[in-house]
Amino acid sequence: MKSADLCFAVIIIFLYLFLNSALNLLNRWALGLYGLKFPLFMTSAHMIFGSCALSPLMLLRESYSSRHALVLQNDWKGLTIVAAFNGFQIACNNASLTVMELSMNQVIRASIPVLVALIAICVEAKVPTKGEVVCLFVISIGVMLAVWEESRNALLGIILTLASTIMQSIQMSVSGSVMSGRSGKLDSFQMTFYTGPVAFVSLLPFAMVTEFNVFAECLVTRPIASMGFLLASCCIAVVYNVVLFQSVRTLSSVGTAILGNVKIVCLLFLSSLLLNELKAWSANQFLGCLLTFVSAGAYSYLKATAVKPPPPVQPVAEREPLVQSPSNRQAN
């Protein structure tokens, strides 16, 4: 790797870790500790702001603008499903931060590989290997150890995080087929642009019904904090999505898997340092946390380094014609 490419990769890694940590910490502080309890309005703002921010690129660049009609005509059903699941899974995750610690939220979300594997077995008939089964089993045990005692204090937060995790697992399974749909390959810029308005429309009615009074009160009593939080989180969310897309293209699959686990460790450290979390955790919760993250890292590594089976070789009998041409018979 050239020195310029290495420097660019290092910059992408630090930007990914910084932006992801900043967004999660900001959401937890504002929604849970500061009291701006309007996660649905915040998520709705993120969805529509991302589409608006990307609209100049999507409308002015020929490679994108020339495909709008084709993409919407062929893949609108898949995009609608992805948008609905994505909007509600982010909303549930943000809502969980109003009643539970960010560190516990990350432990539960580390169980995503288990759910994705179960969905892959049911939908795609993909059976995990023995090593992957062991890792998935240990992840499940670790999450149960960590969540068992927390369930007495933050049951609603656990339910919301589990719902978000399940919806994200389904979204990840559907997104793969949509991004390689009938209209050709779609990148993350296109997915964000097309799904944002649909997610916004899906979430806004629930936000108006459940959070309108809270949101209006926050705008009246704390206008600068409320609008500043919304604007800052929207900007970070858009830039983070761009960096996330670039990290997948810049880093190898193994590097991306390792980076995801490094991000979780960084969030645990920062949530303890800045938000004073983890102080009330028991030994069982720390043990469950350790088992979950180590097993998730091992599972990601096994998936990333798995040797893909070679394509089936066509038998010789099928490659040769059953009836020889007259010229071949004369040669023989």
pLDDT per residue, tens digit, the chain (332 aa), is: 577 777 887 888 888 889 888 988 999 899 888 888 899 999 999 999 989 999 999 999 998 999 898 888 888 888 898 889 988 988 998 999 888 888 888 777 777 777 777 777 776 677 778 888 888 888 888 877 777 766 666 788 888 988 988 887 777 667 767 777 677 778 778 888 998 999 999 999 999 999 999 999 999 999 999 999 999 999 998 888 778 766 756 665 445 555 666 777 778 778 877 888 777 777 877 888 788 778 877 877 777 676 665 555 545 445 545 455 555 555 55
Q: Is the entire prediction scored with pTM above 0.75? A: no
The encoded tokens of residue 149 equal: 């005692």
* CA angle centred on 224, ends 219 and 227, rounded to 5°: 65
Give the whole-angstrom CA distance, residue 120 versus residue 169.
10
Tell me what pLDDT residue 248 has.
Answer: 57
Compute CA distances 240 → 68, 183, 276, 291, 331, whole Å: 24, 26, 25, 28, 67
Query: Which contacts (CB < 8 Å, 24+ apart) does range 245-248 have?
Result: 245/187, 245/188, 245/189, 246/12, 247/12, 247/13, 247/16, 248/188
Tell me what pLDDT residue 123 has.
Answer: 64
Q: Where are the alpha helices (DSSP H) in 29-67?
A: 39-60, 62-65
Do the Cβ atoms of 140 and 111 come closer than 8 Å? Answer: yes
List, in order, residues 6 or more apart from 316 with CB less than 8 Å away: none
Do the Cβ atoms of 229 and 30 come closer than 8 Å? Answer: yes
Closest CA to 94 of 150, 148, 45: 45
Coil, strand, or helix at residue 126?
coil
Give the whole-angstrom CA distance, residue 40 versus residue 53.
20
The encoded tokens of residue 237 equal: 């969310």
The encoded tokens of residue 291 equal: 């088992």
Amino acid, res. 141: I
Tell me what pLDDT residue 43 has.
Answer: 92
Alpha-carbon dihedral sign for residues 201, 116, 54, 95? positive
Tell me what pLDDT residue 329 has.
Answer: 52
Give the whole-angstrom CA distance, residue 37 versus residue 221.
13
Phi and psi at residue 286, to the nearest 5°: -65, -40
245 class by beta-carbon count within 10 Å (0-12 exposed, 13-18 middle, 19+ buried): middle
Tell me what pLDDT residue 205 has.
Answer: 94
Give the whole-angstrom CA distance, residue 41 versus residue 38.
6
Tell me what pLDDT residue 253 has.
Answer: 46
Closest CA to 236 of 46, 29, 95: 46
